[in-house]
Amino acid sequence: MPRVSFFLIFPIKTDKAGRLCYLVKVWSEFHPSRMNQKLIAEIGKSQRLEIINRLKRTQGLSVTELAELLGMSYMGVKQHCVDLEKEGYLDTWRRAKGIGRPELIYRLTERAHELFPCASNSMTITLLENAKALFGPAAAEKLLFSVFQKKADAYRTKVRGETIAERAGKLTRVRDSEGHMAEIEHDAAVIRIVEHHCPIHDLLKAFPIVARLEAELFTRVLGAAVQREEAHASGLYRCVFTLHGGGRRGEIAE
């Protein structure tokens, strides 16, 4: 079941400079998402859900590619895709080929995002916006900074290793278990952690500083400089964290 989290913000005292200090707690509980259950019931067949899961980790696939991945017939996959498009979960675009006509590609729409885990909600955003209104423009950023610092500390207890490659692999598994649909890619010179889902996407849209905080979190945990690049197409999300340098943890200044 998805985790739903929001911040509880308590003003407690003023510091020596007269600034208001506040205590932040993150409250979470597990409960079933009615919207997810409704959408999943509407989609129905497990093959249709598998098509959606496959597409989520890509920037779109043709019917032929999906059929090969799923071990299904071309016509079976085609019918599922047509039905999912009619219901608003897929749309199409044309991908250029070296020779011949561009091929038809299916990809997810924004509606399909609701099927995947969400780790924030409107209460989180409302509380942060109220903190900004009550305590000044920097209040929300300070709260988010505190939360991401604590998250980095929690990650560091799980992500251990002598090399950046070892730590990157462990962090990828942790992020994947949290619903980020994370994968690791590396060639001779570069390591990348690629995420195909953002459970805090609504928070990221409301407070763009979250993108910077996320990159800084990766830097703290991995001990390497990290470049974060985000791309969107229809309902698809792709965030690439490219790791530069580093070795043993602590070689990168925090």
CATH number at residue 184: 3.30.1380
Residue 67 placed within a domain: yes
User: What one-character DSSP code corresponds to residue 61?
Assistant: B
Q: Which domain holds residue 125?
A: 3-30+118-244
Sorted by sequence, the CB contacts under 8 Å of residue 45 that are 6+ apart come out as: 80
Tell me what the mean pLDDT of segment 132-161 comes to: 94
pLDDT-based confidence at 184, cuts 50/70/90?
very high
> What is the C-alpha separation between 110 and 235, in angstroms, rounded?
4
Helix (H, G, I), strand (E, B) or coil at 198: coil
Whether residue 15 sits in one domain with residue 140? yes
Q: Which residue has the higher pLDDT, 209 or 188?
A: 209
At 221, is the secondary structure helix, strand, or coil? Answer: helix
For residue 43, what pLDDT is reported?
60
198 found inside a domain = yes
Q: Are the C-beta atoms of residues 142 and 151 closer than 8 Å to each other?
A: no
Q: How large is the average pLDDT for residues 99-114?
A: 87
CA distance 253 to 225: 9
**Residue of 49, 6, 7 lying closest to 24 (CA atoms):** 7
Tell me if 210 is assigned to some domain.
yes
Q: Do residues 13 and 132 both lie within one domain?
A: yes
CA 105 to chain centre: 23
Question: Do 103 and 97 form a contact (C-beta atoms < 8 A)?
Answer: yes
In the chain, the DSSP E strands lie at 3-14, 20-30, 90-95, 103-108, 182-186, 191-195, 225-233, 236-244
Nearest to residue 242, comparing CAs of 194, 207, 209, 197? 194
Contact by Cβ (8 Å): 20, 99? no
Q: State the pLDDT confidence band at 114, using cuts at 50, 70 and 90.
A: confident
User: Residue 14: pLDDT above 50?
Assistant: no
